[in-house]
Chain A
C-alpha cells in the first residue's frame, strides 16, 4: 500500500497532540490507581461531569472553558475528598476493597452517567470558544487549535503536578504511600490523610480534563466509556505511577489511534486502546517503563 507522506505526518502530529490530552485524562487514574491503589473506574464519568459543568458555565455565563475548568478544581477536590472518606470508612477500613470497592465505583460511574442523561438528555453538547475552529498551517502540517490548546494545557498541568509531587512535603508523602504504606505509618504520618489528599487531587484533575475533552469533541453522557479502556491502557503501559511513562504511553496510543482513524476509519479507533491494554497485560504487565 502506498501511504501518502502528508497524511502520515499529519496523522502522527495529531496523534501527538491527542496523546497530550490523553495524558491529562489519565493523570487522575495514574495518581489514584497507580500511586495510592484505589481503582477508581468512575474517573472517566467524573471527567464527563466536568465537561458538562464547563459547558453550563460556557453557555450560560460565557466563561472560557479552560478558565472554567481551573475554577472547578477546588470543587472537584472537595468532591474527591468526600468520596475517599466514604470509600475509606466503608471498604478500606474493613478490608473489603477488592470486590465491594470495585462495585462501589462502578455504581458511582453508573449514577453519574444516568443522572447526566436525566438532566441533559443524550444530545451531544459543544462549547463556544475562540480556539475551537481555527487551524495553524505549517507547510502541509495542520495544527488544529482545538487539539493544540488542550495538549498544551494538559502538559503544563502534568508538569506542575510533577513538581508538586516531587518538591512539596505532602507530595512526597503521597509518593511514600505509593512505595510503602506501612513504613509511612512507622514514621508517624497518617496514610489515610495522605491518601485522601491524593485521591482529592486525582479527582480535581477530572475538572481540567473535562474542560479539555469538551474542546476536543462534542460530549454526551456515555462518552466516558470510550475512555475507560484508554485510561487504563495508558496507565498500565506507562508503568502505573510514573508520569513520564504515562505521557509517552499516551502519545504512543494517540499516534496509533490517529493513524488507525486516518487509514481504516474513525469507527475502529476505540478497538486500538483495548488491544494495547491486552497486549501490555499479557506481555509486559509492569508497563513499558516499569521498574
Chain B
C-alpha cells in the first residue's frame, strides 16, 4: 500500500526558529478571530436574519470539515461517523438543557468532552488493527448511537424534543446572531488548532502515519498514541460543533441529529478542498456549504445531497488532491 501522495505539503513548511513560529501562530489566531468577527459584522450589515441561519450552517461545516481533516487528512484514517460525534454533542447539550441549563460555552465544552471520549474509546478498540476496521466501526457506530437515542425517552426518543432558546443575549442581541458569532469563533479556533498541528511535532508524526505507518512504527513513532490523540481532538471538535445545534433548530429528533448529510459533507468538503493543509477543508466547506444553502432554497434538498455525492465521487476520481492540489499544480 503506497501512501506517499501527500507528503510534500508537510515537508514544505519546515518551521523557522521557535520564537518567530510562536509569534506567527499568535498572529494567525488573531487573524482568524478577526475574520470571524468581520463575518459577523458583515452578516449584521445585511440586516436579514436569514443570513445568520444560512451562515451558521456554513460555519458549522467549517468546524466539522476541519475536525474530520485532523484525523482523515493528516493521519489518513477515514471517519464515517461524523453524524454520531455531532449528535453526541447535540444530545449532551439537550441533556444539560433539561437538567441544568448552563451558558452555551459550557454546553460546547461538555459536548466536546463527550464526543472526544467517544473518539478515544472507538479509537482504542479499533485503531490497533488495519485502518479500514476503524472506518467500518465508525460507520456502524452511527447506526447504533441512533438506536440508543431513539430508545432513550429522557431526550425525547424517536419523537424528538423541543429546546426553547432564549430570545436574546445581552450586548450581541438576537439569539441567532449570538449562535452565529459563537460558531464563527469556534471555526476560527478549529482552524487555528489544525494549523498548529500541521507545523508541530505532532503534525509530522501524523504525516509519518499517513505516508507509511509500518516505517513510522519501526522508527519509534508512537503511532497508537498519536492516532488516539487525532481521533480525540477530531471527535471533540465535532461534538463542539453539535452542542449549540439544539438551540439552532429548537426541535431535535434522531433523524435530524444523525443525518447522513453530516458524514458525507464532512468527508466531501476536505477532499474537494484538499486534505494536506488547513485551508483545504475551509475552502471546501465554504464552497460546498454555500452551494447547498443556495440549492436548498432553489432546488430540493434531496437533489442537493445527490449533488454533493456526485461532486465527492468526481473529485476523488479526477482531482485526488482537491482544489488546493489543482492550484498548486498551476504554480511553476
Contact = CB atoms under 8 A, between A and B. Distances in A.
Query: Chain A binding site: helix, strand, loop or mixed by DSSP?
Result: helix
Contacts of B136: 39, 41, 228, 232, 277
B1 A106 contact: no
Contact of A225 (B143, B148, B275): B143
A233 B306 CA distance: 28
Interface string A266-291: 01101101110110011001000000
Interface residues of A, number: 45
B312 A107 contact: yes
Contact of B147 (A94, A115, A267): A267
Among B140, B275, B308, B320, the one with the most A-chain Cβ atoms within 10 Å of its Cβ is B140
B55 interface: no
A94 B132 CA distance: 18
Contact of A270 (B143, B260, B264): B143
Contacts of B250: none
Contacts of A107: 264, 268, 309-310, 312-313, 316
Nearest to B300: A118
Interface in A208-245: 222, 225-226, 228-229, 232-233, 236
A95 B1 contact: yes
B302 A110 contact: no
A196 B85 CA distance: 36
A226 B143 contact: yes
A126 to B, nearest CB: 22
Contact of A99 (B78, B264, B306): B78
Contact of A110 (B137, B148, B305, B320): B305
Given A111-B306, A268-B147, A229 B140 contact: yes
Nearest to A89: B317
B129 A281 contact: yes
Contacts of B137: 277-278, 281
A100 B5 CA distance: 11
Contacts of B306: 111, 114-115, 118
Of A106, A108, A225, A228, most B-chain CB atoms within 10 Å:
A106
B24 interface: no
A86 interface: yes
A179 interface: no
A97 B309 CA distance: 18
B316 A104 contact: yes
Contacts of A91: 316
Nearest to A115: B306
B313 A99 contact: no
B303 interface: yes
Contact of A106 (B132, B147, B151, B267): B267
Given A99-B78, A110-B309, A111-B310, A267 B150 contact: yes
Interface string B62-96: 00000000001000101010000000000000000
A90 interface: yes
A185 interface: no
Contacts of B197: none
Contact of A86 (B132, B148, B271, B317): B317
Interface in B122-168: 125-126, 129, 131-133, 135-137, 139-141, 143-144, 147-148, 150-151
B44 interface: no
A190 interface: no
A111 B309 contact: yes
B1 A103 contact: no
A103 B317 CA distance: 10
Across the A-B interface, give the 6 residue pairs with the lowest CB-CB distance, nearest first. A229-B140, A95-B2, A107-B313, A274-B144, A110-B309, A111-B309
Interface of B: 1-3, 5, 72, 76, 78, 80, 125-126, 129, 131-133, 135-137, 139-141, 143-144, 147-148, 150-151, 260, 263-264, 267-268, 271, 275, 302-303, 305-306, 308-310, 312-313, 316-317, 320
28 contacts: A39-B135, A39-B136, A41-B135, A94-B5, A95-B1, A96-B5, A98-B1, A98-B3, A99-B78, A103-B271, A106-B263, A107-B313, A114-B302, A114-B306, A225-B143, A225-B260, A228-B143, A229-B140, A229-B144, A232-B136, A233-B140, A267-B151, A274-B140, A274-B143, A274-B144, A278-B137, A281-B133, A281-B137
Interface of A: 39, 41, 86, 90-91, 94-100, 102-104, 106-108, 110-111, 113-115, 117-118, 222, 225-226, 228-229, 232-233, 236, 267-268, 270-271, 273-275, 277-278, 281-282, 285
